[in-house]
Amino acid sequence: MWDGVGDFLAMGGHAPYVWGSFGMVAAVIIAEWLLLRRRRNRIFSRLGRRSR
């Protein structure tokens, strides 16, 4: 399999593609989470104003 951590991180010469893809997916998931949280807060804020 791999002889060490360096071999694992190199991904058989495909490290830029593998880690770049991993980073992009992580960024999209974080962005989605932040946008959903912001939308939820706006909805709760609007509901709070309507109930007054």
- Model's pTM, two decimal places? 0.75
> Distance between CA 51 and CA 45 in Å, rounded?
10
Tens place of pLDDT per residue across the chain (52 aa): 778 999 888 998 999 999 999 999 999 999 999 999 999 999 999 998 887 6
Long-range contacts for 3-10 (Cβ within 8 Å, ≥24 apart)? none
Number of folded domains that form the chain = 1
Domain range for 12 is 5-48
